Amino acid sequence: MEAHPSLLILLLLSCFATASYAEHNDHTEHNVHLSALNQSLIVSTSSTPGQVLKAGVDQVTITWSYNQSFPAGTDTNYTTVEAMLCYAPVSQTGRDDRKTDDNLDNDKTCPLVITEAPYKRSNNSFVWTIPRDTPTATYFVRVYAVYNEHEKGYGESTDALKTTSLFQVDGIVSEEKVSGAWSMVGNSFGYGYAWLLMLFLLYI
């Protein structure tokens, strides 16, 4: 049976869409472990312990600086910083999608980049409006010092056990809806629209 020309074209488009989606979501693994990094940054937030912040409304001021107790030259190769929003352990229990892993390629503790900026030793601050789609959870902030896309140092706005200086976010959009929306978009680009288009072409 001879293949319908429109079917061949659609199959090609489907393969292209799927490949493009995979490429967009690919990331370069660099095998950096948090335990191997110097905790060379001091990080704090303007929130008060246990404060509940409204997503899409409230703001948090994040500050960071170099920890002067480290030897001179520790930050020589720091070029940029990345401030991340991170789940506290109380909001990770029973959630593999928030699981902590020492290998940062696999770590799911910090899902959201708050800001990126050139590295400076001191006088760093950023006023962050919490996005509307931030899931309801308890959080802290981690700031990475980066060189050539590799983390070289970090600091956190909480203690080692992740129990102090935490803040809660009251999310307007539930995490389930956000995850479902992203999944639907990904699947539709990869397959859904392609099959709908194929059916349309076959019957015109």
Q: What pLDDT is attached to residue 116?
A: 97
Angstrom distance (rounded) from CA 69 to CA 36: 18
pLDDT at 152 over 60: yes
The answer to whether residues 194 and 159 belong to one domain is: no
Residues in the chain: 204
Residue, of 49 and 204, whose pLDDT is higher: 49
Q: What pLDDT is attached to residue 54?
A: 96
Q: What pLDDT is attached to residue 185?
A: 43
Angstrom distance (rounded) from CA 177 to CA 25: 20
- Domain containing 61 equals 40-173
**10-35 mean pLDDT:** 52
The answer to whether residues 70 and 159 belong to one domain is: yes
What DSSP designation does 70 have? S
Q: Do 65 and 124 touch, CB atoms closer than 8 A?
A: yes
The answer to whether residues 55 and 97 belong to one domain is: yes
pLDDT at 99 over 70: yes
The answer to whether residues 186 and 169 belong to one domain is: no
Average pLDDT in the chain: 80
Residue, of 102 and 25, whose pLDDT is higher: 102
Q: Per-residue pLDDT tens for 182-201? A: 455 444 444 444 444 444 44
Q: What pLDDT is attached to residue 195?
A: 43
List CB contacts of 76: < 8 A, sequence separation 6 or more.
Answer: none
The answer to whether residues 198 and 151 belong to one domain is: no
The answer to whether residues 19 and 81 belong to one domain is: no
Q: What pLDDT is attached to residue 204?
A: 54
For residue 31, being part of any structural domain is answered with no
For residue 17, being part of any structural domain is answered with yes
Residue with tokens 């996005």, as numbered in its chain: 131
The answer to whether residues 69 and 15 belong to one domain is: no
For residue 34, being part of any structural domain is answered with no
Segment among 23-27, 61-65, 66-70 with least mean pLDDT: 23-27
